[in-house]
Structure 1
Amino acid sequence: MRSLSCGRAAHSIVDRQNFPSDALSLTMQMNSTLIDPRHVIRKYSLAELCQSADDYYQRIADPRPLMGKPFSSITEAPELLISMGQLLSDLQLGKTMRVLEFGAGTCWFSRFLNQLQCSTISCDTSATALGIGKRLFRDYPIVGEHVAAPEFLVFNGKTLDLPDNSVDRIICFDTFHHVPNQEDVLAEFFRVLKEDGIAGFSEPGRHHSRSPQSQNEMANFKVLENDIDLDSIFRIAKRTGFRRCKATIETASKSVFFLHKGSSSFDSRSHVGLAATLKAERQRYMARKNVPLTIDVDIVNSGGAKWLCKNVNEIGVVKLGAHLYDADHNLLDLDFGRSELMRDVKPGEAIAQSITLSFPYGGKFYLVLDLVSEAICWFENVGSKPIQVEVTVQ
């Protein structure tokens, strides 16, 4: 397979001028007929298609335009950005999720996933492309710190060198239409995805092979430019074991679709499904200055997401938190205190939690108690109702 990520990224014939010609080119000219992608699959072995991917990248003198995607071309950028948004919006991503980008090419999409605080595995048949990706991460690092160092994986065309149930999400961005052995690849996707994992695809449409560029690439450069037949792909996916197949866009020129391994589930690495019901045992408290005060709270997970008590850099870890207000309800300290949960809390579960606070000066105060998912949001910001207690400090 040629770079699994190149696809419709509009590499012109100028980019290919040093590539060797192929007999299919002469066949097309003599017969004036469209090349059927099935003929490409029959003509070339999997090893040959994989080699053509690496050949392409080895002939690139300056890879920076590919490294600069999606902003390397004014004409391509709008479509690329729209496609990225469509894909990301339904993948149900959460921070620190382990995401495999299949057909990563120069890893520019992986870099943005890493910026979103995902743990990324960039996978491609071309070791040369992944080498460029390593350079991209080195020369243009993300803003801030990685939640995990980026990983790079050469794909042999058949199997992924990853354990079973080891990745949360798989992203294919203009990739799958280069894959000749779709069933083998989807079986590998199913194997490495966790039980609630999702594979998301942004691909060309059902007549992709007929475009002039696709015909040119198949004729001259040992490239498979297949049509995306969602009915066929979904049949294969279900036979492989995927539980649900969903298309959000299906036109002659564009396909965006998702394969779900099992039932969708959410956790506190994302804001989706965060909700809580809180109840304090008392509404008013007396305290002494600089003497710890403990407040007991009954909490119910009334949302659809599991609350995590541990994670990388505490991202998505749920805690009971307190805001401090003065007697006139003016905010004094948004992060007046935190209390860690002792275990994960599933939707519908109830826990008894306490928070211990010290007041450095006397007076009348109000505490607003709410849950927070660290580095994600306060629950109040997504619709939960916090509770308020009055504290008089002597």
Structure 2
Amino acid sequence: MISDILRRALRPLFQRAPWLRTLALGSVDLLVRPALFPYRRARPSSNADDAAMLELKTDEFNREAEHYFAAYPDPDRLLDKPFSEPEFFSQRLIDVGVLVDGLRLRPGDVVLELGAGTCWLSHLLNRYGCKTIVVDVSPTALSMGRSLFERDPRTNWHLEPEFHVYDGHTLPLDAGTVDRVVLYDAFHHIPNPWQLLGEMRRVLRPNGIVAMSEPGRGHSTSPSSLAETAATGVLENELALEEIAERALASGFVAARVILSGRPPSLLEIDARDLRPFMGGRSFGRYWKNLCTALDSHHYILLFAGDPEPTTRRPKRLVANIRRIGPRRALQISRGKPIELMFDVHNAGDTHWLRGENAAGWTRFGAHLYHSDRTLVDYDWVRASLPQDVAPEQNVHLVVTLPAIQEPGNYLVVCDLVIEGATWFAERGTRPLEVPCRVV
């Protein structure tokens, strides 16, 4: 197909001059933007006029939250979440996956779950290896949550999970004591959300992250929300994404972002035979309209206490384009003699590569040595330092010395990048550069 021919023709050019790729993508963006303009939606109106009244009723809403859990007719259903909600099961798993990815979570992190309810999410994170601190206004909910931890023999008690009832105003934690804060379908139930934003920032460590999964436009006036409020008295607040971001920045967060991801039931299906035409633009308008509706009606929100850009300490997308500089002919090496090769390496991912030696995230150029039949000779054959930290879309040039090979024959040098003690880039999707060579 013409598209395949163009792709094969342009790939070498983009590898040699990555700025051309950036320019091409920017041009496409400018071309399609007018066509997508009708799908843009206005910012929702603020409920600032109601905010002060709601905050004055904080204690009242807290009592209603406790009554909700204390009077719930089927406590086992709450304890069995997410399995007790078959109609929402897939949605819950997707939500949790997106939140964990957005938090860049690792075992050993200290995670505060605010508005934890019966703590099923915190129990999952405990099993993952995080120290969890659950906070809620309802003593009954936390009592249920503790029983959930206690009835599972696989609970990691050595992580010392904590359960705290709080007054709805001040988090019962010292400043700078948690790595991550997660709120799952909870922030819109809080009558004083701006006060709690400041509290979350206070307890976070300098590079901490808050992640929320929250409903968007129209939630408070939906039939299900109105029925829930009428039946239980629990607050179903309407919060605008932009206002959350502005208030977060005013509370001391450095950045506020939203993850562009849909969730059931907004995920679309198409005929498998139509995937390639779809990638070329067919039926894209329907998809884009559906995605915009999903993004407007639900938000995955990230708030950063420090630099929001991912680094190799906690990487996201690791993509390196490696190109050997020099003649394209097969490499010939004299037996017993090292040789220097030059490489151009382009960071085509979203993660900042760190070159600091013996520190978390230490990233280096590396190479494996194989015989030509791909039997391994030396997996850790070569290491070479980067000349500097490498930001996304940045290029660096390397001069790498390949050690002497004593045995004549045909070999294959496989060049890649590695985060020491963590992962090779090829394990995360990068295509390594293969350099055939003959030793004579």
TM-score by structure 2 length?
0.57
2:317 aligned with 1:272: yes
- SS for the counterpart of 2:159 is coil
2:159 aligned with 1:149: yes
The residue correspondences of 1:7-22 to structure 2 (distance < 5 A) are: none
Give yes or no for contact 2:335–2:406 (8 Å, CA) kept in 1: no
Q: Which runs of 5+ in 1 are unaligned?
A: 1-35
Q: Please give the per-residue CA displacement for 1:336-365, whole angstroms capped at 9, x wherever unaligned.
A: 568597999453696989899999998654
| Distance in 1 separating the partners of 2:76 and 2:50 | 30
2:137 aligned with 1:125: yes
| Distance in 2 separating the partners of 1:285 and 1:159 | 71
Match of 2:83 in 1: 71
User: 1:224 deviation in Å?
Assistant: 1.9
The residue correspondences of 1:152-231 to structure 2 (distance < 5 A) are: 152=162, 154=164, 155-160=166-171, 161-164=173-176, 166-167=178-179, 169-193=180-204, 198-211=209-222, 214-215=225-226, 217-219=228-230, 221-231=232-242
The number of aligned residues is 346
Q: Which runs of 5+ in 2 are unaligned?
A: 1-48, 261-291
Mark the CA change 1:250 to 1:156 in structure 2 (over 3 Å): closer, same or farther: farther
Match of 2:280 in 1: none
Give yes or no for contact 1:271–1:377 (8 Å, CA) kept in 2: no
2:347 aligned with 1:302: yes
Mark the CA change 1:176 to 1:295 in structure 2 (over 3 Å): closer, same or farther: same
Match of 2:429 in 1: 382
Would you tell me which structure has more helix in proportion to its own residues? 2
Give yes or no for contact 1:368–1:386 (8 Å, CA) kept in 2: yes
Amino acid in structure 1 at the alignment position of 2:187: F
The residue correspondences of 1:273-292 to structure 2 (distance < 5 A) are: 273-275=318-320, 277=322, 284=333, 286=335
User: 1:68 deviation in Å?
Assistant: 3.3
- SS for the counterpart of 1:72 is coil
| Distance in 1 separating the partners of 2:296 and 2:427 | 42
The residue correspondences of 1:335-374 to structure 2 (distance < 5 A) are: 335=379, 345-347=389-391, 364-373=410-419
Give yes or no for contact 1:298–1:352 (8 Å, CA) kept in 2: yes
Give yes or no for contact 2:387–2:396 (8 Å, CA) kept in 1: no
| Distance in 2 separating the partners of 1:363 and 1:354 | 21
Give yes or no for contact 1:95–1:118 (8 Å, CA) kept in 2: yes
Give yes or no for contact 2:113–2:183 (8 Å, CA) kept in 1: yes
| Distance in 2 separating the partners of 1:105 and 1:320 | 47
| Distance in 1 separating the partners of 2:128 and 2:136 | 21
| Distance in 1 separating the partners of 2:143 and 2:106 | 26
Amino acid in structure 2 at the alignment position of 1:256: H
Q: RCO greater where, 1 or 2, for CA within 8 Å and sep 6 or more?
A: 1
Match of 1:106 in 2: 118
Give yes or no for contact 1:295–1:354 (8 Å, CA) kept in 2: yes
Match of 2:92 in 1: 80
Match of 2:376 in 1: 332
User: 1:185 deviation in Å?
Assistant: 1.0
Alpha-carbon RMSD: 5.2
| Distance in 1 separating the partners of 2:51 and 2:383 | 61
